[in-house]
Chain A
Amino acid sequence: MIPFSREEREWFLRNLARGLVEYFGRAEPPVQVEDMLLQPPPLYDADFGLVEMYSNLWDATFARPPSQRGSIFVRSDLPTAERRFALAREMLSALITSKHGRAMGLPELLLPHLRESAEYFARYLLVPELMLDAYRKQGGKKLGFADTFQIPLQIAAVRWAD
């Protein structure tokens, strides 16, 4: 594959996130990431499972057991904002490894930069550009930003500055 810049990759990721938000028709924060996983587009029926687990090892991780549905395994005791971000981040792995994602060529493009790509994707899935623009136009401030979009404070700081 031809090498692409970070800026080009981020443009692509923003549009993937936008496509999902538009599919679910959500116009106001918070984006319901859990609903996306529980009622996925038919294309991802075999990829968007959700499994609660008791663990102190990870917040969430995506796994696809051989010949089984791919699922995000998430710690059941995470605070809401952390849980939402972890699910959104791991959703990119579900997309990349899905049949459709492989047909699109997502693994070649995104796997070499998975962690960085997944966190960027999650920020734009939970805070789409249009919603952030609307929030700012309505006088929304940085102070209430994390609460409104239900994202962790440190993620809010990064997204506000994106």
Chain B
Amino acid sequence: MSMQALNQLVARSIVEPNIVKSFASGQIDEMIGDLEFSPELRKRLAGLEAGTFAEFAMLAYRVVKAAEVPVRRIELPSPVEGLLDDQSQSDSEQVA
């Protein structure tokens, strides 16, 4: 969700001058306050030091990307396991 909010902010910035003006006047924290960032992330984004809005956006991308919770991989057992009983497994191991 945070990355979607950042994508939306950057997308709007190319046609909405108030976003860049907010950044230039040091009020980007108010702008991102309206978006769906966690309080911790909002604090980190507001603290970014950048000379331009484009630079801010790129640094924000790094921060948001790093903060994204990786999707947990579900570890399934091998499909072979469970098809063979213990005796069959030990037989095949012996053959091998």
Q: What residues make up the interface of A, taking CB atoms closer than 8 Å to B?
A: 1-2, 4, 8-9, 11-12, 15-16, 18-20, 22-23, 41, 43, 95, 100, 103-106, 108-109
Contacts and interface: CB of A to CB of B under 8 A. Distances in A.
Nearest to A18: B11
Query: What bracket does the count of chain B residues touching chain A fall in?
Result: 20 to 34
A108 B52 contact: yes
Nearest to B54: A105
Interface of B: 7, 10-15, 17, 20, 24, 51-55, 57-59, 61-62
A1 B11 contact: no
B54 A41 contact: no
Given A100-B20, A103-B24, A19 B52 contact: no
From B13, B52, B54, B61, name the one whose CB has the most chain A CB atoms within 10 angstroms.
B54
Tell me the interface secondary structure of chain A in the complex. Answer: helix
A98 B58 CA distance: 20
A16 to B, nearest CB: 5
Nearest to B12: A19
Given A8-B58, A12-B57, A41-B15, A1 B20 contact: no
A22 B9 CA distance: 12
Contacts of B61: 8, 11-12
